[in-house]
A = this chain, B = another copy of it.
Amino acid sequence: MDVVFTEKTKDIIKANGSALRLQPAEVEVIHLFVQFAGALGQPRSVAEIYGLLFVSEKPLAMDTLIERLHLSKGSASQGLKYLQDLGAVRTMYVAGDRRTHYEAVAELRKLAGRFLRQQILTHFEDSETRLDRIAAQTQKLSDGQRKHINERIKLLRRWERAGRRVLPFVLKMLGGD
């Protein structure tokens, strides 16, 4: 008796070669990233993509991610774009396959650096300008208030500087991996 595959199964086999179902160990690693992403305010789908690429031996194409993680095309496309912009994923060209393949960038220093820069440093930058603007708006306040608010502005300036100074240090400590 011939073995007959449904369309869907054939597609899956064709696209993936083998190993469709996520292995328990893979699920766990992905789950780890999903949790951590939650703490950092990153969307689940992005964490799933990064997680699967992280555990996978070889670079994966978008189709594979979609099938194995049950993502929509849109999520996969956008998630990969986001990760690429962040520098958390890089593309690899695989001979004889015209699909773009992705692999996880697994260097903590790069990851943390990019993330912190994008997420935190941005805000420092425009807070500088904003603080100047605030300092110019304190005339209408009572004496006590004005004095106090100016102290606060100074404090915020110090915080900002401290934050800036810490960053390169952190990156150095996250060093070689």
User: A-side interface residues toward B, CB under 8 Å?
Assistant: 23-26, 28-29, 31-32, 35-36, 39-41, 54-57, 106, 108, 119-120, 122-123, 127, 130-131, 133-134, 137-138, 140-141, 144-145, 148-149, 152-153, 155-156, 158-159, 162, 165-166, 169-170, 173-175, 177
Contact = CB atoms under 8 A, between A and B. Distances in A.
Given A32-B156, A39-B119, A25 B149 contact: yes
A36 B123 contact: yes
26 contacts: A23-B145, A25-B138, A25-B140, A25-B149, A26-B149, A28-B137, A29-B149, A29-B152, A29-B156, A35-B127, A36-B127, A39-B119, A39-B122, A39-B123, A41-B41, A54-B152, A57-B145, A57-B148, A106-B155, A108-B158, A108-B162, A158-B177, A159-B177, A162-B173, A166-B170, A166-B174
What is the count of identical protomers in the complex?
Answer: 2
Nearest to A166: B173
Contact of A32 (B127, B169, B170, B174): B127
A40 B55 CA distance: 28
A109 B106 CA distance: 30
A-B pairs with the 9 shortest C-beta distances? A41-B41, A25-B137, A28-B134, A57-B148, A24-B137, A25-B138, A166-B173, A108-B159, A25-B134
